[in-house]
């Protein structure tokens, strides 16, 4: 992608119905259908999250999205989860732009690097290391997929 994406960040109660539908659709296309993993994506945490996503500069469907949680919801630290990119933009740098934006916004809130914890698919460890995360757990299975916990700034 040559043009910079447009980013949106909304609390659950500020999401429009069509925005929520598009975000859930993208997550399910990748995590449920593409990864062939039967699990409940609507896990009850969406109302406690801020939802960050990006579209092409002229709008349209989400190209990548994630959830951002305050400390004490998923982990003692703030956290980022459900990081996903649409298949059509993979290897374009879109996922990297999304994570950079998520980390930038978290750091801007406090004016410093504060601890952020994630549960990462094991094969993406190097990707997240590029944002300052380091592995803090042994590998474990989550929905049949190897994961590790990673921490940044802690």
pLDDT band, very low/low/confident/very high, at 111 (cuts 50, 70, 90): confident
User: Rounded CA gap, 26 and 86, in Å?
Assistant: 7
Predicted TM-score (pTM) of the model is 0.94
Contact 148, 139 (CB under 8 A): yes
Report, as an integer, the average pLDDT of 41-69. 94
pLDDT band, very low/low/confident/very high, at 2 (cuts 50, 70, 90): low
Question: Looking at the predicted structure, is the pLDDT value of residue 3 above 90?
Answer: no
pLDDT of res. 1? 47
Residue bearing tokens 């740098």: 93
> Strand 145-152 and strand 133-135: pairing?
antiparallel
User: Rounded CA gap, 44 and 48, in Å?
Assistant: 8
Residue bearing tokens 């709008």: 59
Report, as an integer, the average pLDDT of 29-54. 93
Question: Looking at the predicted structure, is the pLDDT value of residue 39 above 50?
Answer: yes
All domains of the chain, ordered by start, with CATH? 6-152 (3.40.630.30)
pLDDT of res. 113? 87
Tokens found for residue 27: 């997550």
56-69 tens-digit pLDDT: 988 889 999 999 99
**Listed residue (127, 82, 95) closest to 5, CA to CA:** 95
């Amino acid at each position: 992608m040559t043009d910079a994406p447009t980013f949106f960040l909304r609390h659950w109660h500020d999401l429009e119905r069509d925005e929520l539908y598009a975000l859930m659709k993208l997550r399910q296309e990748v995590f449920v259908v593409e990864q062939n993993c039967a699990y409940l994506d609507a896990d009850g945490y969406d109302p406690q999250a801020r939802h960050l996503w990006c579209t092409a500069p002229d709008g349209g469907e989400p190209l990548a999205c994630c959830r951002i949680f305050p400390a004490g919801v998923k982990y003692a630290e703030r956290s980022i989860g459900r990081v996903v990119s649409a298949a059509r933009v993979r290897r374009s740098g879109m996922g990297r732009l999304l994570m950079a934006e998520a980390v930038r916004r978290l750091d801007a809130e406090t004016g410093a690097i504060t601890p952020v914890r994630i549960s990462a698919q094991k094969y993406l460890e190097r990707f997240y290391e590029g944002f300052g995360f380091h592995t803090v757990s042994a590998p474990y299975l989550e929905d049949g997929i190897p994961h590790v916990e990673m921490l940044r700034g802690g």
